[in-house]
Each structure stands twice: as structure tokens, then as C-alpha cells.
Structure 1
Amino acid sequence: SDYFQQAVKALLLGLSKESELNGLETELLVFGRITLAHSARCFTARSENRPKDQCEFRCGAYAEGMPLYSQDNQPLFRINGIQVQSEASCNLLGYYNKMLSLGITHYRVAEGDMAIERPISILSTYRQGVPVPVEIEASTTCNGYWWGKPGFNLVLPNE
């Protein structure tokens, strides 16, 4: 259970010696698909056999990206233009107080399958000091990476 805290502290300390200065702002993705890789080539254009310089911004036709499946035909990744993203959305909404105690100053919410208003509303309520029971959809969200477990797993608060 301390893996999350150790991971965030390691990230913060690893920034540089300047990271110890007061006022360092830190941002963490708390809800949304995780960008796993970038490419110089647009995956969407390539999937449609278009040259890179004639992509016509085809990625716009796939607002949620194009799903990629495992050999077992399970959704695994999303390709979206030049990004490879996680299929499931990272969900750290239930850990607001823990993130605050670790010095996280900014919380990123990325638009995705879930209406963006809900995660923003949850964060806003936490910022007002009101604990919120977070409804977590285990089949579409994940956070295992932060807990030393497979990234596509979901670890619930108080586990």
C-alpha cells in the first residue's frame, strides 16, 4: 500500500536538486487514458495507408482513438494519431488526500469515454474538503501501475 507513496516521492525527488525549492508545481494525471508512447508517424494515417504528409488529420474521425486488441481479442491499447494510449482510463480520483499530502499541486483530467464533468466534479468536491464516495467502474479504469501491480488492474482505496 505504500508503493504509491514511494513511487510519487521517487518521481518528485528525481526531478532535480531544484525540486526541493519551495513553490515547485507538480502535475499528475488522475483520470484519463495514459499516454504510453509517442511516434513520429501517425498510426491512424498508417492504418489507412496514407503517407505521413497526406494524413488529412484522419485521427479526428476517431475521437476515442482506434482500439487495438490482444491475441485473446481483449481491448488492450488505443492508438490516437501519434500516441499509444492505455485502453482503460487511469483512475486516481479516490486518492486525492494522499496526492495532496505528497505535494501534488495540479491534477490532470483527460477527456475520454466518461463525461469529463464527473471526474472534475469529484475533484472539485475533494478540494472543498468533502470526502466523496467515488463510483469506480472496474472494467474501464485502472491504476495498478501506481501500486506495483499490472497496470490494467484497479486498486480501490482502502485495499
Structure 2
Amino acid sequence: MKLTLGPILFNWPPEVWRDFYFRIADEAAVDAVAVGEVVCSKRMPFLGEHLPSVIERLIAGGKQVRLSSLALITLERERRWTEELARDASLMVEANDITCIAHLAGRPHTIGPLVNVYNESTAIWFEAQGAQSICLPPELPLGAIAAIATAAPQLEMEVFAFGRAPLAISARCYHARLHKLSKDNCRFVCATDPDGLPVDTLDDERFLVVNGLQTLSYACTNLIGDIDDLTQAGVASLRLSPQHCDMVAVTRTFRDVVDGKLQPEEGLDRLTTVYPNVPTTNGFLRGKRATSQSAPDLADRSAAVLGQ
């Protein structure tokens, strides 16, 4: 089982962003790393000057590098940037928007979790366009994952296994609106919430997280206890999405469980310490209420991968 580190979804200061990837390059137990701005094109100029050195450091650290595209393209400059990204044949490109596929068709690329691949036919179509791997959307249950993997055995199937699940993206900026600012004059207020801004229900329950244009789950997806079932379902790689915590420790914990050096229950306990005060869940995968996860759930295995 491979491990992939997804792109940083939040607005971190450029130096923090750079140093995060430098440490990942030197210390993280991952096979591939996706880098680039996915959520908001206004953040891109701040990262551009550090991107070449980050890519160089990651490659020197033995990581496969993927360049991530934007998840929503609404402006002319975003369209041009996507075309330029797709023309760069030096690195693998990860498409997070269907618009990007038109420029990537016929050459090897990967599909990110923000593209809606919900059935076998869609996966097979992407394979025909040149996709070598697909990170499936985080809301898919185990049975659907197994069905897609079975229908497209030549594709490397990846599953979103750690991090707040990306649920939606909009042309409107929620962060700016909350602070009574326009999207064009947002003052980059999203940077004040490096792990997203929690949203409460009317009953004062933590429900979602806002990240500029993006909506994520409040609970952190954590499939460390489901690795055996995911392997049986045909999953080849697990995606770990950067959160505001020690992601090197997260990668090492997942690697230890994958390699059999650590029991899943121990891994879950360790991750709870690494990323405290945030509930974890495997609810999407198990088709249950996606708000909590506890150690006893790890022993509650499905009778079979396809739900028989």
C-alpha cells in the first residue's frame, strides 16, 4: 500500500508552506506528494517563488511529485494557468477540475478527489484519457470503492484516508463574506484560520469547516483502522491531507500500520495525540453517521468487501 500526501488546502504563510514541504521531503514516509494551489487562485502568487525549490527538495527526497490544478476555474487567468500547467510535461499533473482534462488527454496524469468519480464508467472514461491513478471522492462507501477498483484494474485507486474531507467549492468566498469583505478585496482573511474556520449548527454543534471558497467536514476522516478492508477492495494508495498538526508523525503512523509494525488501534490512539481536540470518523466509508469514531469500531469489520 502506497501513501500520498495531498496538497495543502489552507492558506498558510509562504515560508510556513515552504518549510512544511522541506520537512516532508526529508522526513515523511510517503511515496508521492501533490503540491500547488487547489482552492483559490489569489493565493498562488505567494507560493510561486517557493514552488521550484519545494519540487527540487521533494524529488531529492525520493518523492514522486504531482502538480495539482485548481478545483474550480471561473476566471480567464485561471484558465490560462490551467493550460500552462497541463503543457508542462516535466511532472505529473493532478487534475482537480474536469476542465483540466481537455488539456491533459493523451498523456499520463492523475485525478484528484475533487473530481466526481462515482461509478465504474466514469473511472474507465478517465483511464481512456490517460489517467494512471484516481483518488476517489471521500464520501464513497467501501462497496462503491471495490466496484470501481474491480472494473478498472489497471488504474491505481487511491482513497482519502486522513484529513478534513473536502465536500464542496463555490465561486463565493465564505471567509470574506463573514468579515463583510468582497471576494476581490478579501484581505486574505482565510489565513487567520490555518486549519479552517469551524461552523456550528443552530444547536451549537460543530458541523463543517470553511476554508475560503471551500467547505470541508469538521470531523477528520481517519481510515487507519480500515486498511485491511481497503486493500481487499483493490485500493493501492492512501491519501493523507495536510492539517495543522505534525504531518510527519501522521505519515509515520500510517506507514507503521501498513507495514504491520503497529496495530490499527494503537495507530488510532497515536493519531488522536498528534491531532488532538478534533473528532475522527470513518462514517463515509462504513455508511454510518459521519461524526465519530471509536476504538471498538475498528473490530466491527464488514463481513465482505462488497457488503454481502
The TM-score bracket by the shorter chain reads: 0.7 to 0.9
Cα shift readout 1:79-135 (whole Å, capped 9, x = no counterpart): 011111111101101122221222212211112254323321122113333342223
TM-score w.r.t. the length of structure 1 is 0.82
Greater RCO structure (CA 8 Å; 6+ sep): 1
Over the matched positions of the two proteins, sequence identity in percent amounts to 26
**Aligned 1:141-156 pairs, distance under 5 A:** 141-154=280-293, 156=297
2:175 maps to which of 41, 44, 50: 44
Partners of 1:58 and 1:104 in 2: how far apart?
38
Separation (CA, whole Å) in 2 of partners of 1:150 and 1:94: 17
* 2:216 aligned counterpart, secondary structure: strand
Q: Contact 1:88/1:142 (CA < 8 Å) preserved in 2? A: yes
Question: What's 1:30 paired with?
Answer: 161
In 2, Cα distance between equivalents of 1:33 and 1:75: 13
Deviations 1:6-25 (A, max 9, x none): 13223436xxx6x24x2x11
Secondary structure of the residue that 1:72 maps to in structure 2?
coil
How far off its partner does 1:56 sit?
2.5
Q: Distance in 2 between matches of 1:82 and 1:131?
A: 38
Give the total of aligned pairs: 151
Equivalences for residues 1-159 of structure 1 within 5 A: 4-12=141-149, 19-20=152-153, 22=154, 24-132=155-263, 133-136=266-269, 137=272, 140-154=279-293, 156-159=297-300
Return the alpha-carbon distance in structure 1 between the equivalents of residues 280 and 194 of structure 2.
Answer: 18
2:145 is paired with a residue whose SS is: helix
CA contact (8 A) 2:279 2:293 kept: no
Q: CA deviation at 1:141?
A: 0.5
2:298 corresponds to which letter in structure 1?
P
Q: In 1, distance between residues paired with 2:258 and 2:283?
A: 24
State the distance in 2 between where 1:66 and 1:41 align: 16
| CA distance in structure 2 between the partners assigned to 1:76 and 1:6 by the alignment | 26
Q: Report which of the two has the higher share of helix.
A: 2
Cα distance in 2 between the residues matched to 1:60 and 1:86: 18
- Could you tell which deviates more after superposition, 34-43 or 109-118? 109-118
2:268 corresponds to which letter in structure 1?
Answer: E
Partners of 1:55 and 1:7 lie apart in 2 by 39
1:135/1:106 Cα in 2 relative to 1: closer, same or farther (>3 Å)? closer
- Measured at CA, do residues 42 and 6 of structure 1 come closer, stay the same or move farther in structure 2, by a change above 3 Å? same
Cα 1:50–1:11 change in 2 (3 A) is farther
Q: Which moved more, 1:56-65 or 1:137-146?
A: 137-146
Question: Aligned partner of 2:291: which letter?
Answer: F
Q: CA RMSD in A?
A: 2.3
8 Å contact kept, 2:220–2:281? yes
TM-score (norm 2): 0.45
SS at match of 2:187: coil
Contact 1:68 1:76 in 2 (8 A): yes
Secondary structure, counterpart of 1:149 in structure 2: coil
Larger mean CA deviation between 42-51 and 3-12 belongs to 3-12
**What residue ranges of structure 1 are gaps of 5+ in the alignment?**
none
